[in-house]
A and B are shown apart, each in its own frame.
Chain A
Amino acid sequence: MTDWVLPLVVGTVTGILSGCGVGGGTLLLVYLTAFAGVDQHQAQGINLLYFLPAAALALPSHWKQGYLAKPLLLPAILSGLLFAALAAWISTGLEVEILRKWFGGFLILIGIHELFVKSKQEPCGNEKNGV
């Protein structure tokens, strides 16, 4: 039972961020690998599965609010699928220890970017209609 509660709470909190596209998945990966001691491949797989309902349930709102840049979706998704397949294939064949070092470097790069690159806050609820 208690094995359930913490993952559920963590999943909910990061899910809010994921739904907003603010890096909830990256955060869940940090929780799984650095705090919960889950094996690197397992953590990555859990994170991928977790994002499916989080994104699927957030998307209808984004769509209705007109925040999706529709003309960019198809080209970005098609090329993304190609590279995702290739990278997932390589990653699942890699030694965990090697993958973990790459992953650490990736987190540090994104962390530095988030901390030091300025992002301006936009006023609450500025509705826009695509591009």
Chain B
Amino acid sequence: MGQRMRAVISGGLAGLCNGFFGGGGGSVLVPCLTKWCHLSQREAFATSVAVILPLCVLSAGIYLWRSDLSLVAALPYLVGGSIGGFLGGRYFKCMNVVWLRKLFGLLLLYGGVRCFL
């Protein structure tokens, strides 16, 4: 299978998660890009941000239209996200991702289990 076809499938999976769960597309896309499309970790992280951004625009539009999403409640997260996103882009080169991912995994398990309680 060509690299382009792999990108189509990886992007489609990311889109499914992005639309259905309102996030988590990157968590699916990054492993697809590294294991399947043979990108380095950093290329995969950066590329996933670029792929997910337009998907978020579309999904957010559909959520605004079809569910009663409050812009006021979202505003502080938007401001925080702007500051964080800028910093994340700048210090990206020196991020130690291994321990971060372990912590991340634990938090996700906690959140996941909470959904069934």
Contact = CB atoms under 8 A, between A and B. Distances in A.
B80 A73 contact: no
A88 B37 contact: no
Q: Secondary structure of the B side of the interface? A: helix
Contacts of B104: 17, 22-23, 26-27, 111, 114
Nearest to A104: B115
Contacts, number: 438
Interface string A33-69: 1100010011111111111111111111110010111
B27 A110 contact: yes
Contact of A42 (B14, B56, B70, B85): B70
A115 B105 contact: yes
Q: Classify the secondary structure of A's interface with B.
A: helix
A103 B112 CA distance: 7
A121 B110 contact: no
Given A45-B63, A80-B14, A56 B85 contact: yes
Interface of A: 3-4, 7-30, 33-34, 38, 41-62, 65, 67-69, 71-73, 75-93, 100-117, 119-122, 124-126, 128, 130-131
